[in-house]
Structure 1
Amino acid sequence: MTFQRTPVRLAVLSALLLGVAHAQTAAPLRPNLAHLDFLLIPGFQIEGRAHTGLAIYAAPDPKAPGKFVQVGDDDEGLVDLDDVARAAVVYLRDGVQNASPESLRKGRELLGTVLALQAEDGEFYNFVFPNGRINRDGPTSRKSAGFWAARGVWALAEGVLAFRTSDPAYARELEAALNRSVAAFLKGTTPKYGQFKDLGAGIKAPDWLPLGGADIASILAVGLAEYVRATPGNTEARTLLSQLAEGIAAYAPGAPDTYPWNLPLPDTNDPWNWHAWGARQVQALALAGRALNKPAYIDAARTAAGQAFTALLVSRGPVEGFTPAPDLYPQIAYGMESIASGLFALADVTGEGVWNGLGGVTVGWLLGQNEQKLPLYDPASGRVLDGLERGYTNASSGAESTVTGLLALLGAQNRPAAQAKLNLTRLERVTDELIEAESGSDFGSPPETRNTSRASGGKVALLPPGTSLTLKVPAGMTGPYLAQMIAAGPAGAGVRLGTLGASLTFPRDVSTVTKLGRLSLTAGGTLALSSTDKALQADAVWLFPNLAYTLLGRVGERVLLAKSWSDAAQNLDLKQIPAGAMVNVYDRQGRPVAGRELPAYGFALATWAQAGPLPQTGNAGGPAVTLTAEPRVGNFFPLILTPAVDTDAFTTSDQPLRGNLDNPGGEFGATFPAERGPAAGDLLTVGGVPLRFPDWKAPKNVVTLRGQTLTVPTGRYAALHVLGMADHGNYRATVRLRYADGTEESRDLALSDWCGGPQYSEPVAATYPARRGGNGQLETLRCTVYAQKLAVNPDKELREIVLPEQTTMHVFGLTLEARP
């Protein structure tokens, strides 16, 4: 399914329709299944017989704010096995876990739909059109033993276990269907079992996994493992599980200091590409290791979780994946849940609580412990948003996101160690960073580049043999780092970073990661990157600090997760950890280690009580800018924003591709058509307040909120008037007002989506009859700039305005109103 990967641009798809922008979410004692219930379609016809369907997508209702509508896909269908099967698992687990006959009933109804989509040979179709006809020809639906069939098997296995005591006859019916599918999968795996294909660089991939997918195999294995454990007499199911687990474990290349760090890869046809979505390999290995009595599989799961999953948690969470360059967005519940479920499975298999704690930190992503500090789960409605894009949320709430979000919450529900790590806020982080090769210079000139979607910045720098680039070390990066190189080149191509050298061994045009070595960085310094005797396509230098960490917190408590990238033991002497903290240290497989010395590539989890309010976050990284005011206009002082502008919100008819307002992660974005609105630099009057409109002729003309601190002319004011708008939804964020006496006050700034009309009763300052899309063409969307008013304490001298870090909000103008 791909809907959650599509940027949602209509204002009605606003995160605030769920109230998630600043929701304070309590730890979920029981997940709310109401939105999943809403997605159900009772009496859905599948080729003449009534079943219970599940709509694949749901989007905010443009005619009823706060409501959602079911959505299908014109080409694929309205209902699909992929989502129906996973929803059945949710209902069955909720039914068993929370003793809910209603959930068991709904799970059973969905299992009926699973059976309806199974062919006689045990394979499955996926999609059903609204008219009830099975989509037999679509590439994402035709009969196969692949992704959707694996999910069908998982649901059937969970059904057998859920009903074998209460309804043995029905459980036997499900088991017969499961056996047909097991036979279908064995038909594909057994002929090639034990055969490997050479991918180069000394890596061999198992050639017997279904459609070459370790991700497909892991879904099957998760479904079969507990079934095999409970039903040891089913030899065919046990054989298939054994083959799958062996193949998953065999495809985990790398080393502790080199990507993919023994992380099981998902696709034997695409080496080095790992994706978070569906990354159930750790969960599958842990459960299969227990079911088959194979400790080596459990150890493989421990290695991947202790090394790679902890690295993700310290870094940026459930990223889209690695190509092998980090691909940060979109981040979706599907990816988060796969990682959390792997950690919870390890906790169940090993009995070690640390995995539950890490699983709780992972599920915390859903509740706001993410890059944008936005909850994606609304406990009041049960909706799970379709993911985080770069700078905004996808505000639809389809089946896949809802189902996987609920699976993660169900996983955390009865685990006190996991519950204790929910609802944390990220306060500080030191982690891996990329220095893009294309950012360097060759004798003062930028390098020649080539665009490629798999590069970290969308480009690679082309280095002919013997050429070099000078790279700048970002501010704040000092001390020892592990250096890796993401590049492509012919076999044997060499690359050096300073005095560190390494060779690439993959074929040309296949990106790989090569360890360069260890170096000591000086903030603001330079590094020399050079090729040797063969041409090189350099993507980025990937740098890992010897000690990476993320500091999380809530009122009264702090949690710190640290990860070692050093090949030697090191003291855990972070100043953030107070003397009285509870510190638990582990090796890279999650085995406890005494003391505070962090072993090579190990990790640590520290917790402590801390009095006082939670510190303000999200504004530390924004620049400090000094603003001056225009001459007084009546009782008002329009501020000159020129020193702070950082975004081009406009295009013109003769430059239709120049600006980019709403797509910070891409080259092109939608904009206001300048010729359809106020003149450049016009002084607008809104409700008697003068507000200076941007000079849209300038290359940068508006301020995107990035945590900037704006120093203003010190004085006593009654109000701050804001000219602005939001994109990709309606957003609220906190503006902090700092006074000359050292005190500070917070104000709520609410800005509506530019193409959706005022949602906060704010006055309209300017209206455009159309907007210009990223392709340069006008779109018939009425778009608006709004005015807002924030109160200022008139008895104190205002000195600074600290903007929030919310890049979907933009300020076009600011005016200070003098006190009467």
Structure 2
Amino acid sequence: MKNLFLVIVMILLSCVILSFELNIHHLEFLRSEFKIEENRAVGYWIYSNLQPDGSYKHIGAKGEGITCVDDVARVAIFYLRQLETDPEDNFSNNRAKEALDFLLRFQRIDGDFYNFVFEDGTINKNGPTSRANANWWALRAFWAISLGAKVYSKTDPEFANALAIRAKKVLKVLESNFKNNLLKGYTDMSSIMLLGACELYRSIPEKDILKAIETLAEGIIDSLDTSHGELLGFFDEGKEEFNWHGWGSRQIEALVEAYKATANQAYLEYAKKSAEKLFPLIISAGPLYSVSRSIKRFPQIAYAAEVFVNSAARLYEVTGEELYAYYTLLLGSWFNGLNILKSPMIGPDGQGYDGLEITHRNLNSGAESTISALLALQAVKTLPENYQELFEEKKEFLTPAFFLEAEKFNLGLSEAEAENSNIASGGAFVRCKGTTALRTNLLLPKVRYQVFAVIPDFDANTVSISVRYGKEKLKAEKKLSYYGLYKLGSIVGTAVEERLSFGLNPSNGTVAIDTLVFIPSVIGIYLDTSDQTILINNSNETFSGVPRGKCALVPGKAISSGEIFQVAVSCQAVKIKQERDYFLLDLFPLYNNNGIVDANHRRKGNFDNIQGITGASYPLEEIKKNIENGFLLMKDIPFLFSDNGLDNLRTKKQCIKVGLKASELWILGSSDHGDYTGELVIKYKNGQQESFFLGLSDWCGQPKYGERSLQFDYRYDSTGNVEHLNCKLYLQHFKLKGDEIEAISLPDVVTMHIFGITLK
């Protein structure tokens, strides 16, 4: 009977959602009735955390509340947009009205809004994320009720009029906080206010609302006329120094709506000017978290991804240009796997995952993430059918952006040194005091890349910079007048790994280099199913027949990209040492991680921070208690052990030549940032092979894959302090055919670490 009920619910919901991408099941799970003072209203739980059995549990925000205006306003906007598409949609009508009713219960008599409610029904009136102060939640509520006034103006005029009255009250509160033609001087907050004002103007076209629209739009476009705006289309959010963040930055979308409301062409041109430079970066790098003195790439969140999808969709709506249709579907594709992990950011029940890191996804799924994902996919669904079909195809980056941390370069004999800093993206930058040459290897696809340096600190006036990549060279003389991004020029990739040399020489004083950034001038996304490539050409020359500033769908893989995320590694022979009847592989030539340190070197360990040069690590003192005759013993299985700086390898599909018979295999390892699995392949000399499921649990968690474990009482954290956490090494065992092994191929999962491999 229960299964029959679920089938009926699915059928009913299919009448509301246009395709599986707009799956609202998890949103419905978050929906609950809440007590608000002496009344009750329907809202949405702030958080929901993934449980070990795969289910989700409702979670409140400690000290803040259990549901909030900020999230429910997003829900109202989602369903109101559904109603705009289909005015007869009763389900969306009911959900929109109950969300709007919830919002109005938090509006004060002066028009401002509180945000959170506690579990006992008390409205949180004093918390910094809840008190009435013309803040984010008031803005989002203003946008939602203004949109409601417009949507219901034809179908329910009385309700629409009541919403418009409420919206005008909050508009007055917001206008009283104008500073330099912006709300409180910030363009991000102003963009949401502008969206609300445009919706309100469509239902009540009054002069004072038009004036607010024009004031905000002028303030926003002024913030693009900066160095960072000219370089990459960033609207300045800062006051004293440049600052921008992905989340909440709806300036492009807001300017398009201002153009629709006023017909002022300048607003549209500024929106297009930003989009031309910003969209290629966001597609190739993902929804950046923030840019200021440094670039913070992670966490990448649905809240940031969604704003760009809707911005592109609005541009397509008003221009009809194919370019913006492609931008919409590609920006939205971050949710279905066009990201650095090639993993979906929306789950099978429509849960929007809470974040993507360089190594893993946060699979918790709160209201903000879920509704942001739905708003993004809703925007994609406004595209013509042929673009929606392309959206659903599996995609592959051919031209990703690259971010190289300076502290990870080889400094050689340069007059420079790495410094730890909380303003640096990876926790450290390189301070250059004189002639400096930084070197590393880099594989760039065969397109032109724009090259930028991130300079977070300096006391020099100018700096001479040179970049060499294979046969490509560029030189730049930069006058240092602000912190952040400096454009150095452009180089063309070769699709093979080349030596990259970055040279600089300050005229006087010092210059700090945080990151080198390579952004493709041509976006290439390969569609696996249809064997086609989406090309967007932002370079100054025609590329593969596509003119500058144009886009096209071309057959096959149109760009030679080499191996971008999965570097092909030829099989490497290793030494083998026999101990009793065990054969121990010497993995030292393959080690690429320093995860074990002693107390004297504990600030140099880095087991778990792939972006930086320091991280937490295992204590050598504890591990030495398990070493006998030079071997690390785990449940009496011996492994070769190194304490010479590198002691384990992050698995990147390394191939190890073996050349001996074995019937059993043991692996000593663990994972960071979660529990991970990958394919372990044994290739035999007779041409046969075996594949195994290798699972290694989180180093400070519990064994999830049947491993045996060796536990330690503490670890060293990223600053060298002792943390009393029970971290572990895990032992996995596999039975083999007993034939002669030619090679062992490791998983392609950089969060899995292998310390040793032993055969018998």
- Superposed pair shares fold, TM > 0.5: yes
Of 206, 213, 216 in structure 1, the residue corresponding to residue 186 of structure 2 is: 213
Q: Distance in 1 between the 2:533 and 2:683 partners?
A: 29
Q: 2:36 matched to 1:46? A: yes
Give the C-alpha shift of residue 34 in structure 1: 2.1
Equivalent residue, structure 2, for 1:524: 499
Q: Any conservation in 2 of the 1:691–1:723 contact (CA below 8 Å)?
A: no
The 2-side partners of 1:254 and 1:261 are apart by 9
Amino acid in the other structure paired with 2:347 = D
SS at match of 2:499: coil
CA distance in 2, matches of 1:525, 1:39: 49
Partner Cα separation in structure 1 for residue 564 and residue 580 of structure 2:
35
Instruction: Give 1:275's aligned residue.
Output: 245
Distance 2:367 2:335 in 1: 16
Residues 624 and 228 of structure 1: CA distance in aligned 2, closer, same or farther (over 3 Å): farther
Deviation at 1:694, TM superposition (A): 6.2
Is 2:596 the counterpart of 1:645? no
Give the AA of the match of 1:763.
E
Matches within 5 A, 1:266-345: 266-269=236-239, 271-313=241-283, 315-345=284-314
Aligned counterpart, 1:89: 77
1:176 matches 2:151 = no
Match of 1:240 among 212, 216, 231: 212
Instruction: Work out whether residues 42 and 99 of structure 2, in 8 Å CA contact, stay in contact via their aligned partners in 1.
Output: yes
Give the drift of 1:793: 6.8
- 2:708 is matched with which residue: 748, 753, 764? 764
Aligned CA distance change for structure 1 residues 317 and 406 (closer, same or farther; 3 Å):
same
Unaligned runs of 5+ in 2: 1-17, 467-473
The aligned counterpart of 1:421 is 391
Cα shift at 1:366: 1.4
Q: Deviations over 1:375-414 (max 9, x none)?
A: 22112x2222211123122232222111211111222234
Counterpart code for 2:503: A
Are 1:808 and 2:751 an aligned pair? yes
Residue 704 (structure 1) aligned to one of 633, 650, 667: 650
Amino acid at match of 1:49: N
Q: Which one-letter code corresponds to 1:224 in the other structure? A: A
SS at 1:131's partner residue?
A: coil
CA distance in structure 1 between the aligned counterparts of 2:700 and 2:459, rounded to whole angstroms: 51
Secondary structure of 1:471's aligned partner:
strand
Contact between 1:359 and 1:418, CA under 8 Å: does it hold in 2?
A: no
1 CA distance for matches of 2:79 and 2:580? 63
Match of 2:436 in 1: 469
The 8 Å contact of residues 95 and 103 in structure 1, kept in 2 or not, is answered as yes
DSSP 3-state at the match of 2:231: coil
Contact 1:228–1:234 under 8 Å retained in 2? yes
Question: Is structure 2 residue 547 aligned with structure 1 residue 598?
Answer: yes
- Structure 1 residues 676-705: Cα deviation after superposition (integer angstroms, max 9, x where no partner): 56613656576xxx7444636443222222
Aligned pair in 2 of structure 1 residues 525, 749: CA closer, same or farther (>3 Å)?
closer
The CA deviation at 1:810 is 1.8
Residue among 175, 180, 185 paired with 1:186 = 175
Distance change (3 Å), C-alpha of 1:549 and 1:356: closer
CA–CA distance in structure 2, aligned partners of residues 96 and 745 of structure 1: 56
- The equivalent position to 1:225 in structure 2, one of 187, 195, 198, is 198
Q: 1 CA distance for matches of 2:352 and 2:273?
A: 31
Q: Structure 1 residues 369, 622: CA separation in 2 closer, same or farther (over 3 Å shift)?
A: farther
Secondary structure (helix, strand or coil) at the match of 1:713 reads strand
Aligned-residue offset at 1:449? 5.2
- In structure 2, what is the Cα distance between the partners aligned to 1:616 and 1:409? 30
Q: Which amino acid aligns with 2:611?
A: G
Contact 1:318 1:336 in 2 (8 A): yes
- The equivalent of 2:455 in structure 1 is 487
> What is the CA-CA distance between 1:536 and the residue it aligns to?
3.9
Cα offset, 1:806, TM superposition: 1.9
SS at match of 2:391: coil
State the identity %. 28
**How far did residue 431 of structure 1 move?**
4.0
- State which of 459, 483, 492 in structure 2 corresponds to 1:511: 483
Aligned position for 2:9: none
SS at match of 1:420: helix
1:725 aligns with 2:691: no
Amino acid at match of 2:573: T
How many Å apart are 1:289 and its aligned residue? 1.0
Gaps of 5+ in 1: 1-26, 193-206, 574-595
Q: CA deviation at 1:610?
A: 7.7
Displacement, 1:153? Answer: 0.8
Match of 1:155 in 2: 144
- Does residue 375 of structure 2 align to residue 407 of structure 1? yes
Q: CA deviation at 1:491?
A: 9.6
Following the alignment from structure 1 to structure 2, what is the Cα–Cα distance between the partners of residues 70 and 605? 45
Say whether the 8 Å CA contact 2:238–2:244 is kept in structure 1.
no
Q: Is the 8 A contact 2:459 2:510 kept in 1?
A: no
**Matched residue, 1:452:** 421
Paired residue type of 2:353: L
Partner of residue 60, structure 1: 50
CA contact (8 A) 2:421 2:428 kept: yes
Letter in 2 for 1:644: L
- Match of 2:750, SS? strand
User: Counterpart of 2:195 in structure 1: which amino acid?
Assistant: V
Q: C-alpha displacement at 1:518, in angstroms?
A: 5.5
Which one has the bigger helix percentage?
2
**Number of residue pairs the alignment of both structures matches:** 724
1:111–1:624 distance in 2 versus 1, CA, 3 Å: farther
Pick closer, same or farther for the CA change 1:220–1:423 going to 2, 3 Å: farther
Deviation of 1:96 (Å): 5.3
Distance (Å, rounded) in 1 between the aligned partners of 2:714 and 2:263: 64
The question of 1:553 aligning with 2:527 is answered yes
Tell me which residue corresponds to 1:626.
Answer: 573
SS at structure 1 position matched to 2:626 = coil
SS at match of 1:524: strand
- Give the counterpart letter for 1:702 in structure 2: N
Listed as ranges, the matches of 1:137-152 within 5 Å are 137-152=126-141
CA contact (8 A) 2:45 2:58 kept: yes
Relative contact order, higher structure (CA 8 A, sep 6+): 1
The C-alpha deviation readout for 1:597-634, integer Å capped at 9, x for no partner, is: 532xx3534343589xxx99843266864333332765
- 2:458/2:512 contact within 8 Å kept: no
* Paired letter, 1:59: N
Identify the residue that residue 102 of structure 1 maps to in structure 2: 91
> Cα–Cα, structure 1 residues 86 and 674, in superposed 2: closer, same or farther, change >3 Å?
same
2:341 counterpart letter in structure 1 = Q
Structure 1 residue aligned with 2:509: 535
**Any idea what the Cα deviations from partners look like across 1:489-523, whole Å, max 9, x if unmatched?**
789921212484444363xxx51434445678994
Q: Which moved more, 1:394-403 or 1:270-279?
A: 270-279
C-alpha separation in 2, matches of 1:803 and 1:57: 37
CA RMSD in angstroms comes to 3.7
Structure 2 counterpart of 1:407, one-letter code: L
Q: Shift of residue 59 of structure 1?
A: 1.7
